[in-house]
């Protein structure tokens, strides 16, 4: 028996596990402390009543002889696939039900999709980036090259003038920075992928947060040519509160050999998403859609509460408009800021350095807490920041110096 030697190339802990561990250690030392989390991006709004009713209805249906279902289709039930097709059609994007694959979430699908590719592929990943993209490819032993996101390009890196890649990751709106590409910008990535005979793995998990007037794209398939070089991953986790329910989808154009390969892979490794969950997801896109959007509106309001306070304090940041994330410049080592903020204000965030080299000196705040807790967090942050500015150079080594 031989272990996967690539695991030794991973960090000791997954970023969010380390955040949770440090918060737990602080609470153990100060058991009466009231820590507010603006860190790990889990939702707080309950499921809509109509989605919950769909769960009950499907559960009752499963208790009858006529309504009971065992194994479902590997690619999802037609009722949900058609609802997803309709969701795209509202935005003027035509896809075929046979191009839709129901999954148990974008993260699992993005990881599992790598089964379709040889280890001898070069992967291009933006920096900073959601760490699961990197770790999944490190586990497989693939070569990874990075494109730099930074202040100068608004953390929206464009294709390099030189260099080649086989697999390209794009997350837009972005986790962690909240920055979002326009369709015009995505055209450059599509052109780069076509020129390199590469595939774009497009993570659209936060597309429901995009404001129409912003000009940001909600799907890679808004771009001509994307059907020849892209696969899109999406999720009900943030748009409908399914982080604990688990449901998502993947769109793979029929002309791509990856379409049949993914169906074959799912038939081998996956027995399908629960019928009850798929009925809940269908309701979230149909009669329950208006209720579902109200939860997104709460998180968007929370982001506004955060950014209003940052504007008032004159703090440099990105995000908060088209995504539930706010990317804040703290000017010291990210983990040092994390520990100091937790100690002084009892607020947990996510250190930017955990998302890559270019995240050092930044932190990510999420808008996924309740409005009341978000307001309280920013009251604490106001007092904290004013003190922090006074003591920063005495206690830390600012990165700007």
CB distance 102 to 272 below 8 Å: yes
pLDDT score of 12 more than 90:
no
State the pLDDT at residue 14: 84
Assign 167 to helix, strand or coil: strand
Per-residue confidence (pLDDT) for residue 105, from 0 to 100: 95
Predicted confidence (pLDDT) per residue in 136-195, tens digit: 999 999 999 999 999 999 999 999 998 899 999 999 999 999 999 999 999 999 999 999
Average pLDDT in the chain: 97
In Å, the largest CA–CA distance within the chain is 72
Burial 43-75 (b: 16+ CB within 10 A, else e): bbbebbebbebbbeebeeeeeeeeeeeeebbbb
Domains of the chain: 5-47+290-389 (3.90.1150.10), 49-288 (3.40.640.10)
- Give the whole-number percent of the chain exceeding pLDDT 90: 97
Can you tell me the distance from the alpha carbon of 233 to that of 223, in angstroms, rounded to the nearest whole number? 16
Do 71 and 272 form a contact (C-beta atoms < 8 A)? yes
pLDDT exceeds cutoff 80 at 24? yes
The answer to whether 176 and 328 are in contact (CB under 8 A) is no
Residue 124 pLDDT level (bands cut at 50, 70, 90):
very high
How far apart, in whole angstroms, are the C-alpha atoms of residue 352 and residue 110?
22
Q: How far apart are CA 157 and CA 167, in angstroms?
A: 16
Residue written as token pair 């999420």:
366
* CA–CA distance, 309 with 111 (Å, rounded to integer): 37
pLDDT the model gives residue 219:
98
Among 124, 118, 170, CA closest to 141: 118
Q: Is the pLDDT of residue 292 over 90?
A: yes
* DSSP structure class, residue 155: T
The runs of H, that is alpha helices, within 181-272 are: 183-195, 237-240, 257-269
Average of pLDDT values for 376-391?
A: 98
Single pTM value for the model: 0.96
Residue of 188, 183, 204, 190 whose CA lies nearest to 251: 204
Helix, coil or strand: residue 201 = strand
pLDDT of residue 356: 96
pLDDT value for 215 = 95
Q: What is the pLDDT of residues 323-357, one digit of tens each?
A: 999 999 999 999 999 999 999 999 999 999 999 99
Report the pLDDT value the prediction gives residue 11, as an integer from 0 to 100.
Answer: 82
Q: Are 324 and 238 in contact (CB under 8 A)?
A: yes
CA distance 262 to 376: 46
Specify the higher pLDDT residue, 201 or 16.
201
Strand partners, 289: none
Model confidence pLDDT, tens digit, residues 66-84: 999 999 999 999 999 999 9
Percentage of the chain lying above the pLDDT 70 cut: 100
Helices (H) and strands (E) in the chain, counts: 12, 13
């Amino acid at each position: 028996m031989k272990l996967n030697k690539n695991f030794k190339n991973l960090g000791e802990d997954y970023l969010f596990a380390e955040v949770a561990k440090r918060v737990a250690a602080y609470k153990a030392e100060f058991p009466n402390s009231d820590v507010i989390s603006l860190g790990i991006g889990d939702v707080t709004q309950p499921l809509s009543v109509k989605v919950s009713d769909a769960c009950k209805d499907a559960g009752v249906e499963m208790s009858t002889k006529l309504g009971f279902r065992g194994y479902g289709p590997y690619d999802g039930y037609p009722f949900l696939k058609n609802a997803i097709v309709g969701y795209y059609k509202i935005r003027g994007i035509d896809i075929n039900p046979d191009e839709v694959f129901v999954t148990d979430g974008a993260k699992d699908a993005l990881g599992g999709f790598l089964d379709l590719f040889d280890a001898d592929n070069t992967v291009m990943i933006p920096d900073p980036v959601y760490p699961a993209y990197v770790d999944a490819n490190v586990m497989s032993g693939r070569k990874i090259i990075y494109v730099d996101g930074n202040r100068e390009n608004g953390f929206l890196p464009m294709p390099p003038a030189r260099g080649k890649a086989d697999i390209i990751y794009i997350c837009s709106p972005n986790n962690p920075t909240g920055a979002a590409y326009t369709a015009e910008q995505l055209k450059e990535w599509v052109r780069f992928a076509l020129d390199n005979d590469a595939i774009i793995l497009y993570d659209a998990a936060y597309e429901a947060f995009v404001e129409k007037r912003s000009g940001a794209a909600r799907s890679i398939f808004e771009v001509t040519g994307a059907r020849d070089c892209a696969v899109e991953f999406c999720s009900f986790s943030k748009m409908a509160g399914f982080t604990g329910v688990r449901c998502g989808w993947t769109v793979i154009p029929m002309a791509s050999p990856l379409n049949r390969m993914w169906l074959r892979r799912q038939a081998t490794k996956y027995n399908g998403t629960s019928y009850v969950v798929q009925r809940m997801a269908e309701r979230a896109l149909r009669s329950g859609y208006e209720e579902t959007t109200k939860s997104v509106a709460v998180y968007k309001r929370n982001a506004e509460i955060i950014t209003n306070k940052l504007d008032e304090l004159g703090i440099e940041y990105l995000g908060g408009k088209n995504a539930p994330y706010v990317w804040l410049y703290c000017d010291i080592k990210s983990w040092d800021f994390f520990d100091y903020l937790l100690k002084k204000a009892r607020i947990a965030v996510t250190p930017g350095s955990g998302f890559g080299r270019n995240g050092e000196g930044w932190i990510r705040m999420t808008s996924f807490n309740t409005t009341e807790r978000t307001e309280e967090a920013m009251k604490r942050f106001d007092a904290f920041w004013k003190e922090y500015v006074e003591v920063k150079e005495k206690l830390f080594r600012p990165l700007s110096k």
